[in-house]
């Protein structure tokens, strides 16, 4: 289903380089080759990878892999082995923020010390170390991006997010000494610069590419908010969105996209809800979350139901899907059955390994037949090592998805495979949920329609793909067994592709599918066997701000306006009516000319009128 391109491999890009450099310092033992213990700590917005490893002399070291130069750089070395739970590097690479957790093994856990120690370290050159926090809860650290036009001002801004549910912003002023040494100015006054940004959150997500902090609060109901940080380091709350979640959706604080803590093992039963937010540069936003309905299990049949919701903020609606899972396929623990959400352009891929794959169309969302759905044991996304340890690295400027496999330490760029979609078109019995012939036949129609639209609209800029679709149309023009007009779908989807990128609001106006002209839609285009879908309109999102947020607000308001207008979409049946009227007029004019000709010929004997 997906095509992968490897961008980073911890073993070949980092570990091999570490062994070479360590060997130049001291003689390495055979045991050390297997005890390097290199671990990814964070992935920066520029693609750089922060990692730690055990030095040959009993130290813990932190380094950075530069994606552009493909070089490794040593940032800092601790004189003993420590447990790094969070790490962030400022844009100028002069400061390193690190959170260390207490080693609970051996005798060290008996020492009276805090559970987590957060440090701010000067690394150009290595100089002072400042303790920011010493608390008994986990702390995440994240530097904000600097304004590249303000190089004359030496400052850095650091976010500290704690497991106690609050986020602080440290404004760190720097100064240069001896022309090259960058140190903290007045470190004793650093605590006075702290600004409390967020309080009482139960879930938080960081987006480094757009400098946004999403967080969830719960009083009477759950409320999703977003804080936008600007290049001037001014910040404001730009979004509030109420969400319908279980009363105790997050028993413990959930951190998303804030690095990787290899020393914190979250109990599976505590992850009742999994949630992520994805945005796209065209002005769209999707809030995706899943939950397990344990009380909906049928003990006789052994089936279980998974529910996931995709909130389409730009469409002012949300869609909730319920998928029934076959009891014979439930080999994982119940609490581990959370699907993986992968943004792919304006598609959201919802993938549960060995169970189902749902490609949710977030632009043509009105009918379920414009989204692809596969199910069964044969469903395979093509991930190199499955989806157990896969994390999505999202960037709204990147049309392709980026996946990190923590188990192998590999980062892959992923995109939809046109060859796979073309095979769906050529297949008369695509993968179905039950595997029966009748179900396979009914599933073929919406899958053909969804695959055709994905090829023509999402991948339509590739002329080779378009030629292969045309070839499929020509070879199957006679045997048209689908519930829709293939030729008309091809024309409408191709025309829609030309203008769809200009504005999201055009989706409510443009006739992108022939199914809207059908007087009575076939049932096979309205449902998917084993899947229930419900739609909620008017999600009551409050938006403000500039840039992306102004575009998102415009798209949302235009969508609300067009929903209030009766039949806003221009239908091809209107074109046909005008065409029939024009043909009728032409036929009438032709009859009148013939009558006049015969009349003149009869009234003027002997006159010659050319036929």
Query: According to the model, what pLDDT value does residue 599 have?
Result: 63
CA dihedral 570, 575, 577, 580 (to 10 degrees): 180
Res 586 pLDDT > 80: no
The answer to whether 384 and 4 are in contact (CB under 8 A) is yes
pTM: 0.87
Q: Residue 452's Cα: distance from chain center in Å?
A: 23
Residue of 309 and 181 predicted with greater confidence = 309
Query: Per residue in 17-28, pLDDT tens?
Result: 988 877 666 655
432-461 in b/e form (b: 16+ CB < 10 A) is: bbeeeeebbebbbbbbbbbbbbbbbbbbbe
Q: What is the mean pLDDT of residues 551-568?
A: 82
Domain locations along the chain:
270-381+417-570, 578-611
Residue of 302 and 533 predicted with greater confidence = 533
The answer to whether 196 and 168 are in contact (CB under 8 A) is yes
Res 58 pLDDT > 60: yes
SS3 letters for 32-100?
A: HHCCCCCEEEEECCCCCEEEEEECCCCCEEEEEEECCCCEEEEEEEECCCCEEEEEEECCCCCEEEEEE
Res 293 pLDDT > 80: no
Query: According to the model, what pLDDT value does residue 333 have?
Result: 46
Place of tokens 């045991």: 31
432 pLDDT band, cuts 50/70/90, is: very low
Closest alpha carbon to 282 in 599, 467, 553, 548: 548
Query: Per residue in 324-351, pLDDT tens?
Result: 876 655 554 444 568 999 999 889 999 9
> Cis peptide leading into 125, omega within 30 of 0?
yes
Total residue length of the chain: 611
Q: What is the mean pLDDT of residues 399-421?
A: 91
301 pLDDT band, cuts 50/70/90, is: low
**HSE-CB of 430 using CA atoms within 13 angstroms:** 24
On the 0-12 / 13-18 / 19+ scale of CB atoms within 10 A, 258 is buried
> Cis peptide leading into 406, omega within 30 of 0?
no
The answer to whether 450 and 369 are in contact (CB under 8 A) is yes
Residue of 76 and 440 predicted with greater confidence = 76
- Neighbouring CB atoms inside 10 A of 508's CB total 16
Rounded Cα gap, residues 50 and 82, in angstroms: 16
Closest alpha carbon to 86 in 132, 25, 125: 132
């Amino acid at each position: 289903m997906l095509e992968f391109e490897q961008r980073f491999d911890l073993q070949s890009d980092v570990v091999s380089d570490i062994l070479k450099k360590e060997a130049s310092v001291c003689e390495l033992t055979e045991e050390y080759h297997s005890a390097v213990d290199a671990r990814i700590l964070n992935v920066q917005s520029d693609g750089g990878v922060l990692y730690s490893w055990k030095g040959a002399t009993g130290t813990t070291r932190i380094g950075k892999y530069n994606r552009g130069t493909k070089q490794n750089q040593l940032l800092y070395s601790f004189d003993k082995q420590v447990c790094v739970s969070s790490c962030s590097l400022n844009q100028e690479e002069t400061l390193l923020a690190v959170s260390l957790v207490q080693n609970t093994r051996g005798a060290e856990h008996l020492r009276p010390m805090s559970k987590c120690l957060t440090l701010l370290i000067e690394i150009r050159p290595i100089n002072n170390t400042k303790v920011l926090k010493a608390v008994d809860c986990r702390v995440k650290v994240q530097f904000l991006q600097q304004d590249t036009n303000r190089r004359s001002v030496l400052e850095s801004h650091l976010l500290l997010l704690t497991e106690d549910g609050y986020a602080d912003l440290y404004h760190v002023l720097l100064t240069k000494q001896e022309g090259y040494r960058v140190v903290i100015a007045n470190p004793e006054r650093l605590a006075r610069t702290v600004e409390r940004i967020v309080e009482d959150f139960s879930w938080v997500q960081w987006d480094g590419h757009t400098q946004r902090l999403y967080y969830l609060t719960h009083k009477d109901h759950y409320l999703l908010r977003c804080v936008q940080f600007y290049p001037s380091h001014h910040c404001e709350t730009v979004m509030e969105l109420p969400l319908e979640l279980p009363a105790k959706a997050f028993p413990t604080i959930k951190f998303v996209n804030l690095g990787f803590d290899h020393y914190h093992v979250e109990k599976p039963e505590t992850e009742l809800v999994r949630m992520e937010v994805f945005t796209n540069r065209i002005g769209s936003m999707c809030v995706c979350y899943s939950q397990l309905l344990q009380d909906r299990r049928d003990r006789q049949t052994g089936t279980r139901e998974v529910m996931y919701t995709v909130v389409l903020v730009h469409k002012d609606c949300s869609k909730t899907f319920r998928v029934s899972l076959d009891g014979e396929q439930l080999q994982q623990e119940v609490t581990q059955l959370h699907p993986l959400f992968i943004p792919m352009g304006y598609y959201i891929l919802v993938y549960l390994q060995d169970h189902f794959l749902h490609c949710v169309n977030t632009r043509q969302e009105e009918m379920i037949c414009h989204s692809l759905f596969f199910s069964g044991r044969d469903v395979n996304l093509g991930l190199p090592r499955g989806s157990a340890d896969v994390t999505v690295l999202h960037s709204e400027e990147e049309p392709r998805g980026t996946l990190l496999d923590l188990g192998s330490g590999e980062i892959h760029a992923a995109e939809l495979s046109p060859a796979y979609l073309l095979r769906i078109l050529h297949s008369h019995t695509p993968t179905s949920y039950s595997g029966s012939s009748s179900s396979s036949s009914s599933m073929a129609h919406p899958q053909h329609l969804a695959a055709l639209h994905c090829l023509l609209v999402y991948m339509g800029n590739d002329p080779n793909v378009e030629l292969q679709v045309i070839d499929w149309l020509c070879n199957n023009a006679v045997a048209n067994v689908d519930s829709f007009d293939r030729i008309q779908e091809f024309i409408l989807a191709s025309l829609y592709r030309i203008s769809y990128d200009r504005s999201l609001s055009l989706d409510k106006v443009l006739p992108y599918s022939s199914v809207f002209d059908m007087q009575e839609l076939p049932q096979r285009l309205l449902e998917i066997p084993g899947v229930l879908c419900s739609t909620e309109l008017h999600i009551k999102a409050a938006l403000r701000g500039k840039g992306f947020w102004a575009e998102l607000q415009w798209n949302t308001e235009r969508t609300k306006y067009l929903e209030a207008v009766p039949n806003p979409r221009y239908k091809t049946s209107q074109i046909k009516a005008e065409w029939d009227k024009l043909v009728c007029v032409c036929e009438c004019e032709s009859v009148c000319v013939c009558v006049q000709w015969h009349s003149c010929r009869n009234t003027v004997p002997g006159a010659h009128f050319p036929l």
